[in-house]
Amino acid sequence: MTTPPIDASSVPRGQGLEARLAEGPVVCAEGYLFELERRGYLQAGPFVPEVVLDHPEQVTALHEQFVHAGSDVVEALTYYAHRDKLRAVGKDGQLEALNRQALALARQVAGDTGTLLAGNVCNTNVYDPGNPATHAAAREMFTEQVGWAAEADVDFVIGETFRYAEEALVALDVIQEAGLRAVMTLAIGTSPETRDGWGPADACRRLADAGATVVGLNCLRGPDTMLPLLEAIVAAVDVPVAALPVPYRTHHEQPTFHALRDSDHALLSGDRPFPTALDPFTCNRYQIADFTRRAAEAGVRYLGLCCGAAPHHVRSMAEALGRKPPASRYTEDMSRHSFLGTDERLSRHNLEYRDRL
């Protein structure tokens, strides 16, 4: 049954996520870093979202395009907009300005479109399980970003791409201290466990028990290597489960997009296609639709895509759930193609030429 997007503006802030989940699956478009890098507005490697300050109109446009394609959520582009990352590119003085600007841009689009507004925190790359000082540093970084998100009156905060489940628990604690709901997703590498050795289902159960509104997985793994992990997570928790794979054709031998190798590697700048030569591994829209249907059948209720996603992938995901977002007006109709179509108005001499194209 088709479920139209809920008008989040009609729901009190903070309650919109539960209201939307009660009506059906939530679609959340991510992948801003890779898409803006492809467009020439962000640097691969550091992946710091300086574009928020340098070209805010591009961030707004991508927010609008993802909503047009079917996203129920506008996520502020504050991934890797934390103190450690900005320090690495010599711009730690812009930390607050970047975060506040990203939240303002997202808030404007969410308000204009009646979609949910999400803040965002992520892996700090500082956290070291054996060094308590880094735990305090990570908490401080989360506290800064979550504080600005709270001031922006977000509906919820996405805590994502955590390889350490313990770090995710620290982030969750900070989000809850701010009185906000949390969607917490873990990044599972080549070994099917967190970096601190917890199985995905166990880690998600601990996050759910600690109060997360939604738990699950995002990033690193493509559809075919994330899907086998989802059923156990759904069975282990009593909260909605999230799945946001990267749209790349990972497989058993190379289960993450970092692990992918291209046999035609002569022109690569390094020994792997990640991150700027992944094009041959990109999932097509039909593969994304197939993942969406299978994940939904497994009980996943919060669906999206991570690094590498583009609006046409999001549209395919929304359509697989029975929806018709505005972008569906332009979904392909090959019946009217001059050479490959079936429409009776097409010229016969062109249709007869199709096998020689």
- pLDDT for 234 equals 98
**Residue 1 belongs to some domain of the structure:** no
Q: For residues 357 and 350, what is the distance between their CA atoms, to the nearest angstrom?
A: 10
**Residue 337 belongs to some domain of the structure:** no
Joined tokens for residue 305: 């895509």
Q: For residues 270 and 134, what is the distance between their CA atoms, to the nearest angstrom?
A: 31
Q: For residues 165 and 198, what is the distance between their CA atoms, to the nearest angstrom?
A: 7
3-state DSSP assignment of residue 161: strand
**Residue 44 belongs to some domain of the structure:** yes
CATH code of 141's domain: 3.20.20.330
Domains of the chain: total: 1
> What is the average pLDDT score of the chain?
94
**Residue 181 belongs to some domain of the structure:** yes
- Does residue 9 have a pLDDT over 60? no
Cβ contact 97:53 at 8 Å: yes
Q: Which residue has the higher pLDDT, 259 or 4?
A: 259
pLDDT band at 266 (very low <50, low <70, confident <90, very high): confident
Q: Which residue type occupies 263?
A: S
User: Counting beta carbons within 10 angstroms of the beta carbon of residue 299, is it exposed (0 to 12), middle (13 to 18) or buried (19 or more)?
Assistant: middle
**Residue 329 belongs to some domain of the structure:** no
Across the range 69-83, mean pLDDT stands at: 97
Q: For residues 62 and 71, what is the distance between their CA atoms, to the nearest angstrom?
A: 11
Q: What is the DSSP letter of 329?
A: G
Cβ contact 20:321 at 8 Å: no
pTM score, two decimals?
0.93
Torsion region of 230: left, alpha or beta (phi above 0 gives left; psi -120 to 50 gives alpha): alpha
pLDDT digits (tens, 9 = 90+) for 124-149: 999 999 999 999 999 999 999 999 99
CA angle 167/201/84 to nearest 5° reads 20
Q: For residues 12 and 226, what is the distance between their CA atoms, to the nearest angstrom?
A: 34
165-177 and 132-151 helices cross at what angle (nearest 10)? 40
- pLDDT for 332 equals 95
pLDDT digits (tens, 9 = 90+) for 194-234: 999 999 999 999 999 999 999 999 999 999 999 999 999 99
Q: For residues 245 and 262, what is the distance between their CA atoms, to the nearest angstrom?
A: 20
Q: What is the DSSP letter of 24?
A: S
Cβ contact 31:309 at 8 Å: yes
Count CB-CB contacts under 10 A for residue 90. 8
Cβ contact 165:200 at 8 Å: no
**Residue 332 belongs to some domain of the structure:** no
**Residue 338 belongs to some domain of the structure:** no
pLDDT digits (tens, 9 = 90+) for 304-351: 999 999 999 999 999 999 999 999 999 999 999 999 999 999 999 999
Q: Which residue type occupies 50?
A: E
- pLDDT for 15 equals 64
Alpha-carbon distances of 203 from 69, 74, 218, rounded to whole Å: 32, 26, 13
Across the range 63-79, mean pLDDT stands at: 98
Sign of CA pseudo-dihedral 215, 217, 219, 223: negative
pLDDT band at 269 (very low <50, low <70, confident <90, very high): confident
Q: For residues 83 and 144, what is the distance between their CA atoms, to the nearest angstrom?
A: 9
- Does residue 177 have a pLDDT over 70? yes
pLDDT digits (tens, 9 = 90+) for 86-102: 999 999 999 999 999 99
Q: Which residue range(s) make up the domain with 19?
A: 8-324
**Residue 185: φ, ψ to 5°:** -130, 140
CA–centroid distance for 320 within its chain: 17
Residue-by-residue DSSP string for 239-257: S-EEEE--SB--BTTB-BT
**Residue 343 belongs to some domain of the structure:** no
Q: Which residue has the tokens 């035609």?
A: 264
